[in-house]
Every structure is written in structure tokens, then in C-alpha cells.
């Protein structure tokens, strides 16, 4: 028996009422690759567009082991319980290239937020998309904003180009660094240093408190050199703070820095520009996706062309021209 298509009126109403079941179903709809679901998702996003765009969008990145999920659990709990915010977390998980399976373990790594009525965690399998960012992360974020979440955190998988992709989805990009792991200078790529808006040295407690302070000082020095000839968001100098998710320590200072960065973006007009550039970037992401799907659907001999590339009887350039020019 065919499954009944989603009721858009019910989903839209459920989002207005902040119904968690409706939120989950709406995100499932926008994440679906089924052509009929894509059409419904497009209509749902059109209906809720007026209720989106007001949230603080924060990207969280850092090397494996830096404690991203632990930090988000403590930071998000501080926002919901101390400052009465509604927090949504989109945790982009690594997916298997073979099976498409995903770890999806962030709910176990964020035990407090997972049971917090003011929070919503949605693990999103990356499924091989460029940069490890789930294909529908942006739409999921819009659904969550329409459901009244005023702060959206997007956690990267911390590999490859995921930092760049998440940077293109968010307003403030937060880099988590770990003292004693080489992150202070060598371990952080220059490109990430140029992209980040706030740097937090994590696990700054116990015996690691002083190494964390030294790492923060080293990072401040590196930023001064890096930004001496780089205009970053109209003159913004990324602050470097130390934090501990277990004490907790520095979480409110981190939030204050994020809000200061957002105020800076608003004052300089950079927030409007950034959001507009992100919309255009997403336009071309969708164009590329749809063109690829059309090309795949239009070529019954696609498998033969791919085999010819594999065995070397057809060059990659010639194969690409054959696929595109025949459209």
C-alpha cells in the first residue's frame, strides 16, 4: 500500500504550534530525495518563509576529540535553562559511502539537550554530499526557525571541506581548539583561521587550565598576524576564549562574543550581505543537484559511459562533454 503523502496544512500548523512530531516529519520531508516529496517540500518552504531568518545561526567546528558534542550539550543547556532560549542542533554525521548508513550518535553525546523540552536535536547523515554537510541542512534549519527556535547550532563532522560548507550556512562560525594537540599553530589550517569568527579553547580545567591559557595566547598572536592584512567582516577580530564544558567555564562569555559578532554584522550591514550570498550559493547548489539528476535520468547509456571512463577508452573530459552537450 502506498504511503499517504504528507499533509502540508497539518505540518504548517504543527510548526506554528511547535509540535515536535510535526517538526520531525517536516524535516524528514525536506530531507527526502523522492521527486514527489521534493515538490511538497518546496511548497512547505514557500509557506513558512515569512517565519524564518530571525534565528542566530552558529556553526561549530573543530578537530575530532576537541569535544564538539560535549561543548554543544553544555552550551545549549546554558542557553535554554539560564537564558530561556529555544535551541536546535543539526549534527551532521559522517555516512558510509557504500551503505549510506550513519553513526547518528549525537543524542547519546548530548544527554541533557536530548531531554530538554526547549531543545531539538536532529542528526543528519551527510550521505556523501560535498563537505560532509547534509544536502538538506539548510531546509532543515528553516523548518526549525519556523518552529520558533531562536538559536540554531550546526555541528560539522570536522573533515575535508565541511568547514567551508557550514560557514556558508551560518552567521557566526566558531572554531573549537584543543591545547596540547598542536592546534595552537600547526594543527589549524590557515583557511579555517580566516573563516572563523570566534575561537574557543576547550577543556580548560584541571591540569589543562594553564596549557589552555597558553594556547589561547598563541592563537591570539597568530590571529594578529593573519588579520594584519585581511579585512574580516569589516574589521572584526575573532576573540579567543577558554572554556570548559564540565565545570562549566566560559560558556556565557562565548555566547556574549557570538552576540557581539552578530551586532557587528548588523552594524556594518555584513549580516544582510552574508545571508544574501548564502542564498545565491544555495541557488547554485540546487541547480547543480537538479542538473545532475536530469542528466542521469536522461542517459540510458550512463553506465556504459562510466565503464568507458573506468577502463580508459573514454577520457573524463570527453565523457563530461558527451553527457552535457547531449542535453
Is the pTM here over 0.85, yes or no? yes
Q: Per 3-state DSSP, what percentage of the chain is helix, strand, and coil (rounded to 5)?
A: 55, 15, 35
CA distance 103 to 92: 10
Query: Residues 150, 261: one domain?
Result: yes
We report the CATH number of the domain holding residue 90 as 3.40.50.300
Q: Is the dihedral angle over the CA atoms 280, 281, 286, 289 positive or is it negative?
A: positive
Q: Are residues 230 and 298 in the same domain?
A: no
User: Is 300 within a domain?
Assistant: yes
Reply yes or no on whether the pLDDT at 236 is more than 80.
yes
* Whether 129 and 181 share a structural domain: yes
Q: How many domains does the chain have?
A: 2
Domain around 67: 53-268
What mean pLDDT is predicted for residues 137-146? 95
User: What per-residue string of b and e applies to 189-225 under the rule 16 or more CB within 10 Å gives b?
Assistant: eeebbebbbbbbbbbbbeebeebbeebbebbeebbee
301 vs 150, more confident: 150
Contact indicator for 92, 133 with CB cutoff of 8 Å: yes
User: 155 in a domain, yes or no?
Assistant: yes
Instruction: Tell the residue number behind the cell numbers 542535453, with chain if given.
Output: 327
Confidence of residue 65 (pLDDT cuts 50, 70, 90): confident
254 plus 113 within the same structural domain: yes
Residues 145 and 189 in one domain: yes
The verdict on residue 150 lying in a domain is yes
**What would the mean pLDDT of 275-289 be, rounded to a whole number?**
89
Query: 69-122: per-residue pLDDT in tens?
Result: 999 999 999 999 999 999 999 987 655 444 444 545 556 789 999 999 999 999
Average the pLDDT over 233-244 and give the result: 89
In a domain, 96, yes or no: yes
Amino acid at each position: 500500500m502506498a504511503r499517504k503523502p504528507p499533509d502540508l496544512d497539518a505540518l504548517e500548523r504543527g510548526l506554528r504550534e511547535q509540535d515536535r512530531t510535526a517538526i520531525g516529519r517536516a524535516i524528514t520531508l525536506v530531507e527526502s530525495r523522492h521527486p514527489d516529496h521534493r515538490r511538497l517540500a518546496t511548497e512547505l518552504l514557500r509557506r513558512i518563509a515569512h517565519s524564518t531568518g530571525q534565528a542566530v545561526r552558529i556553526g561549530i567546528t573543530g578537530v575530532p576529540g576537541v569535544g564538539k558534542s560535549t561543548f554543544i550539550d553544555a552550551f545549549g543547556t546554558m542557553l535554554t535553562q539560564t537564558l530561556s532560549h529555544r535551541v536546535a542542533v543539526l549534527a551532521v554525521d559522517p555516512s558510509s559511502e557504500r551503505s549510506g548508513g550513519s553513526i547518528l550518535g549525537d543524542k547519546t553525546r548530548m544527554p541533557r539537550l536530548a531531554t530538554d523540552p526547549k531543545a531539538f536535536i536532529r542528526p543528519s547523515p551527510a550521505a556523501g554530499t560535498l563537505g560532509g554537510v547534509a544536502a538538506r541542512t539548510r531546509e532543515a534549519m528553516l523548518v526549525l526557525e519556523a518552529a520558533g527556535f531562536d538559536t540554531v547550532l550546526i555541528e560539522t563532522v570536522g573533515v575535508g571541506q565541511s568547514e567551508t560548507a557550514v560557514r556558508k550556512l551560518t552567521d557566526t562560525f566558531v572554531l573549537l581548539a584543543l591545547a596540547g594537540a598542536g592546534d595552537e599553530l600547526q594543527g589549524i589550517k590557515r583557511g579555517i583561521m580566516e573563516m572563523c569568527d570566534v575561537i574557543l579553547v576547550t577543556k580548560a580545567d584541571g591540569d589543562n587550565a594553564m596549557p589552555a591559557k597558553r594556547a589561547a595566547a598563541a592563537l591570539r598572536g597568530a590571529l594578529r598576524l593573519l588579520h594584519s592584512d585581511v579585512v574580516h567582516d569589516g574589521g572584526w577580530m575573532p576573540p579567543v576564549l577558554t572554556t570548559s564544558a564540565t565545570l562549566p567555564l566560559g560558556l556565557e562569555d562565548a555566547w556574549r562574543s557570538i552576540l557581539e559578532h552578530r551586532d557587528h554584522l548588523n552594524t556594518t550591514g555584513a549580516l544582510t550581505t552574508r545571508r544574501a550570498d548564502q542564498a545565491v550559493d544555495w541557488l547554485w547548489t540546487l541547480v547543480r543537484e537538479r542538473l545532475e539528476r536530469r542528466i542521469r535520468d536522461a542517459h540510458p547509456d550512463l553506465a556504459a559511459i562510466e565503464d568507458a571512463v573506468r577502463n580508459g577508452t573514454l577520457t573524463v573530459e570527453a565523457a563530461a562533454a558527451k553527457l552535457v552537450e547531449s542535453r
